[in-house]
Amino acid sequence: MNSIILDGPLGWSQVAAIAVNNASLELTAAAKSRISAANAIVRSLVERHIRAYGVNTGVGALSDTIVPPQQQAALSRNILMSHSVGVGAPLGVSETRAIMVAAVNNYAHGYSGLRLVVVERVVALLNAGCTPVIPRQGSVGYISHMARVGLMLIGHGRAMLNGEHLSAKEALQRIGLDPLILEAKEGLCLVNGTPCATGLACLVLERARRMMDWADAISAMTFETQRAQTGALNLASMALRASPGLTHVTQKLTSMLSGSSILAAAAGRKTQDALSLRSVPHVHGAVRDAWTDVATVVNRELASVTDNPIVSGTPAAPEVHSQAHAVGAAIGLAMDHLGIAMAELGAISERRIDRMVNPLISGLPAFLAQAGGVASGLMIAQYTAVSLVAQNRRLAAPASLDGGVTSGLQEDILCHATPAALKAEEILDNLQKIYAIELLAACQSYDLLGKELAPAPQTSALYQTLRSEIATYADDRPLGDDIAAAECFITQITPDSVLVQMSCA
């Protein structure tokens, strides 16, 4: 198992690697020193009776209520109890791990103030593959999800360990850990900041990256089966439009379609093709540019301190700053942006699906069916794609504008960063299914084109790999099963892995 060392801020891909690939996490001596130094400042605040939000005051609308030293540990514990209000189905293990990693990353900046043992305990849970069960719904920001992480540390709630559901206390026992007793500010630290939304955003970025690669590969197959004009991919003319994403997609499609006898024979057949074919570099490229912008925001958030309050100075001269660093406006807007971009990929994919199945356009048998009239082929699969695109359009409405008022007017503007990230995940779920349908339609189109003209070697490799797992459709089995199998195919491999195997053969 690979190990990732946390010294300075992690990048989004490192968070995703720990969350998805189960890489271990290690704190450097410098990171540990920063965490401990911040805790010494909190202890000084307590000893000097310097007012500090969530340290010796209540939270939210209770921020002016003073909490005496003998009750500050109870305050930390009570915050976890009262803030564990999530409802609904649980997050996946990878999602939970991403949140935990982002939280450790935040603490390691050295401005939070909790003890090193608390942070090391979160790291120990990650490295042992033990995760709290976190209900998916119920957060306008970050609190209810983060509270469940803290709840497990004190031996409450439920956990997952090696695929088994256990009480948190039993899970801790199995990995040789005792429940913690929290001290001043630690309860607030464990529910504070943007790690929930930021961790989820790292996973969204990773999934979106994979989907963009499949978008280019599958659209190349559709472009070829529709005998489109390769002049739309002319590198010199495309360079006149300033877009790194457009350039990348143009080069990718050009490479994938190189050596296509199908396209060579189709040259000059039309003046220009429909936009869903000739604007693939423009749409997919714009999505890639948006992805790059969002990745920058997420990395910036990982490099930021997102606690309220932050502690600084020294134990001899402690400082506490109540600001709004915990507000996740940047992540909320970024996740809304990426959600819209992913929904756009689905929309253009569905238009390409329609062109393949539509007998008025495709030049192939109606609905890619083997026998006209008796068989419906992929007719109704396109209906499913339309439905998924419509659902994505609804999901793409911005969560960051939802607003709301909580905590007795104290928190009177809300950015809904975590819901924005969860919504982007739903859009990606639908996008995978849309691409599964387009992939099936493209492969079915190759089947019906015949063998007279050879496809490009790279598109042929993808076609052959898919066909080794899913046979040509002949209305002889539930089509939904093929869609599910194609979706599994997309999630388990990458286009590049297929092409690497081809080059090594």
- Each residue's pLDDT tens digit, 200-246: 999 999 999 999 999 999 999 999 999 999 999 999 999 999 999 99
Per-residue pLDDT tens digits for 155-200 = 999 999 999 999 999 999 999 999 999 999 999 999 988 999 999 9
Per-residue pLDDT tens digits for 485-499 = 999 999 999 999 888
Q: Which two tokens stand for residue 62?
A: 């209770």
Domain ranges for the chain: 3-192, 201-504
What's the CA dihedral at 108, 113, 117, 118 to 10 degrees? -90
Annotate 145-156 with b (16+ C-beta within 10 A) or e (fewer): bbbbbbbbbbbb
Contacts of 481 (CB under 8 A, 6+ apart): none
Secondary structure class of 426 (helix, strand, coil): helix
User: Distance between the two ends of the chain, CA-based, in angstroms?
Assistant: 29
- CA distances (Å), origin 189, targets 54, 165, 168, 186, 316: 9, 26, 20, 5, 22
> Which of 197, 181, 192 minimizes the C-alpha distance to 54?
192
- CA distances (Å), origin 2, targets 14, 23, 82, 361, 398: 11, 5, 37, 51, 37
Q: Is 421 a residue whose pLDDT tops 80?
A: yes
> Which of 393, 402, 398, 281 minimizes the C-alpha distance to 343?
393
Superfamily of domain 201-504: Fumarase/aspartase (Central domain) (1.20.200.10)
Pick the CATH number of 3-192 from 1.10.287.610, 1.20.120.1200, 1.10.275.10, 3.40.50.2000: 1.10.275.10
Q: Is the pTM of this model over 0.85?
A: yes
Q: Is 473 a catalytic residue?
A: no
Q: How confident is the model at residue 409 (pLDDT cuts 50, 70, 90)?
A: low
Q: Is 412 a residue whose pLDDT tops 70?
A: no
> Which of 384, 393, 380 minimizes the C-alpha distance to 347?
393
Q: Quick check: do 3-192 and 201-504 share a fold?
A: no
